Amino acid sequence: MKLATQAVHVGDRRKPSAAIPVATPIVSAASFIYDDIETVDKVFGDEIHGYAYARYGSPTTDALQELMTALESGAGSVATASGMMALQVAIQTALTDRRKSVVAASALYGATLKLLLSVFEPMGVEVRLVDICDLDAVAKAIDEAKPGCVVMETVSNPLLRVADPEAIAKLTRAAGAALVVDNSFATPMLVRPLELGAHFSVHSLTKYLSGHGDMMGGVITCDADHLPTLRALSSTCGPMLGAFESYLAMRGIKTFPLRMERQCKNAAEVADWLAAHPQVAKVNYPGDPAHPDAATIAKLFPSGLRGAMVSFDLKDAGRDQVFAFINRLKLVVRATSLGDVHTMILYPAISSHRDLAPKQRLRAGIGDGLVRLSVGIEAMEDVIADLDQALRG
């Protein structure tokens, strides 16, 4: 079954009674009862499928998890209250019964770096950062650190570098470690990390999958070996996504393939226009033939789909000039997120990478003039006109 068909059908029309809802209903109960205690005993003992308490699972959330498992070609999924919670639980699962050491991409979302350095490291987990696009450096870091887990993004935030998850998965597996991939920017339309050898694929459901900026959530999809531990950890810690948010995510995913295709097309158009603008010093976009990871991108991504994110440096701009540019925008939305139907702009220095020291940001290639654009589904003539008037001041 093709991904576009899976997005519309998987998870729906599960049979709760003689009348089957066409769309998955919202089941918001915290607990569930049966006609007799013997059935409750069998549900708790996993002798029969059923629901006892929403922290362990519920019909609406299970339907979403079934859908994500299909989209990511995994063995099972757990939906969580946010993308960051999904990353935390995935890493914790990966480190269970493994050495408490992580090798991670140095180019990561700022909150992910904070999770590793401010949460996991104080708990005794060794963290080593590496240029994930340099396979020799990755191999050396894995050999020296002997990690239990390797963490990367399919498309890095915000410079849009693309490492090779298949090659990194081979290095990770040879070392007995687990590979956790944040696939939020690429989505299953562009890359399915588990098919390339990763153990975990993690998403912020808030972004492209739900796509409308109206829910917060995350999801972890993993292979069969890690699924029992993932589910046990989830049942104990209780990060479970609520029924209403699960419903919104499923509703959004039905149109996700259509939206993503349009957003990729629009991003290519905007990136080309920005590259020719006199007020733009540099454009970062995976569809650029001169992209440093062009060979990897051509191998990984489907033809014509290069993602819907663009970042660019304003020429000779600092914080004040960037603020003035963003404040002049009339159509592009000034919001701290991405993947919505509308085009959105963000200034990494004050948002996604705010917690990094200025020198750290510069070392990572995130200068004071860098802005990040999440391209929507609008008519690009209107978006380009708005960017143009804001750039010209």
User: What confidence score (pLDDT) does residue 353 get?
Assistant: 67
User: What confidence score (pLDDT) does residue 23 get?
Assistant: 84
Instruction: Using the predicted structure, report yes or no on whether residue 264 has a pLDDT greater than 80.
Output: yes
Instruction: Using the predicted structure, report yes or no on whether residue 116 has a pLDDT greater than 90.
Output: yes
Query: If you average pLDDT over residues 343-372, what whole number do you get?
Result: 80
Query: Rounded to the nearest 10 degrees, what angle do helices 319-328 and 380-392 cross at?
Result: 140
User: What confidence score (pLDDT) does residue 12 get?
Assistant: 80
Q: Give per-residue pLDDT as tens, 360-388.
A: 666 767 889 999 999 999 999 999 999 99
Question: Is-catalytic flag, 262?
Answer: no
User: What confidence score (pLDDT) does residue 19 get?
Assistant: 72
Residue 354's Cβ-count burial label (10 Å; 0-12, 13-18, 19+) is: middle
Instruction: Using the predicted structure, report yes or no on whether residue 342 has a pLDDT greater than 80.
Output: yes
Same CATH topology for 3-253 and 257-392: the answer is no
Assess if CATH 3.90.1150.10 describes domain 257-392: yes
Q: CA geometry: angle at 358 spanning 353 and 360, to 5°?
A: 75
Residue 171 and residue 203: Cα distance in Å, rounded? 23
User: What confidence score (pLDDT) does residue 18 get?
Assistant: 65
Instruction: Using the predicted structure, report yes or no on whether residue 13 has a pLDDT greater than 90.
Output: no
Instruction: Using the predicted structure, report yes or no on whether residue 21 has a pLDDT greater than 80.
Output: yes
- Thinking of the domain 3-253, which architecture would CATH place it in? 3-Layer(aba) Sandwich (3.40)
Q: Give per-residue pLDDT as tens, 196-240.
A: 999 999 999 999 999 999 999 999 999 999 999 999 999 999 999
Contact 87, 182 (CB under 8 A): yes
User: What confidence score (pLDDT) does residue 157 get?
Assistant: 92
Q: Give per-residue pLDDT as tens, 250-263.
A: 999 999 999 999 99
Query: If you average pLDDT over residues 128-144, what whole number do you get?
Result: 98
Q: Give per-residue pLDDT as tens, 83-115.
A: 999 999 999 999 999 999 999 999 999 899 999
Instruction: Using the predicted structure, report yes or no on whether residue 158 has a pLDDT greater than 70.
Output: yes
User: What confidence score (pLDDT) does residue 46 get?
Assistant: 86
Catalytic member of 62, 164, 182, 313: 182
Question: Is-catalytic flag, 207?
Answer: yes
Q: Give per-residue pLDDT as tens, 164-204.
A: 999 999 999 999 999 999 999 999 999 999 999 999 999 99
Instruction: Using the predicted structure, report yes or no on whether residue 324 has a pLDDT greater than 80.
Output: yes
Average pLDDT, the chain: 94
Question: Is-catalytic flag, 182?
Answer: yes
Catalytic member of 161, 207, 306, 372: 207
Question: Is-catalytic flag, 288?
Answer: no
User: What confidence score (pLDDT) does residue 16 get?
Assistant: 63
Instruction: Using the predicted structure, report yes or no on whether residue 328 has a pLDDT greater than 70.
Output: yes
Query: If you average pLDDT over residues 154-159, what whole number do you get?
Result: 95
Instruction: Using the predicted structure, report yes or no on whether residue 119 has a pLDDT greater than 70.
Output: yes
User: What confidence score (pLDDT) does residue 355 get?
Assistant: 65
Catalytic member of 14, 42, 55, 265: 55
Q: Where are the domains of the chain?
A: 3-253, 257-392
- Using a pLDDT cut of 70, give the percent of the chain over it: 96
Catalytic member of 51, 56, 62, 109: 109
Instruction: Using the predicted structure, report yes or no on whether residue 20 has a pLDDT greater than 90.
Output: no
